[in-house]
Amino acid sequence: LKGASLLLMLKHYLTKDVFQAGIEVYLHNHNYGTAQSDDLWDSMNEITNGTLDVKKIMKTWIVHKGFPLVTVVRKGKIISVQQEKFLYRVEPENWTSDASYLWHIPLTYITNRCNFTHCTNAYLLDQKSGM
């Protein structure tokens, strides 16, 4: 389930056409052979012409345990986004802050300026907070 969710997240961030092209490169390069997850990310990097480090983004999701809690706050026209490790049913005395848990989170959103030809905007949250 986690793997499928990660691939869907990546597809939305890269766009369907770029993601499909990356999959095609991956399948062509590893036809009848063995592969590792890094090979898929390398194929995606190849399609993005090095403008995006897909491997770096996806490693944060594969290496870290759990997942992030993303909080979005809107104040007028200003949007702020913050991430922290999601903790479920952890007693305050057992909670330890782990500042090293930083995910690279692809965020997609739409605005009221959408003209229905290109509605999706993308932002990569690669810090504890941003926007």
- CATH code at position 74: 2.60.40
Which one, of 112, 55, 44, 77, lies nearest residue 121 by Cα? Answer: 112
Do 125 and 74 have their domain in common? yes
Domain count, the chain: 2
Residue 41 near residue 55, CB atoms below 8 Å = yes
The average confidence (pLDDT) of the chain is 86
Segments forming the whole domain that contains residue 82: 68-130
Cβ-count burial of 114 within 10 angstroms (0-12 exposed, 13-18 middle, 19+ buried)? exposed
Task: Tell me the per-residue pLDDT of 64-108, one tens digit each, with 9 for 90 and over.
Answer: 888 899 999 999 989 999 998 887 776 655 566 565 689 999 988
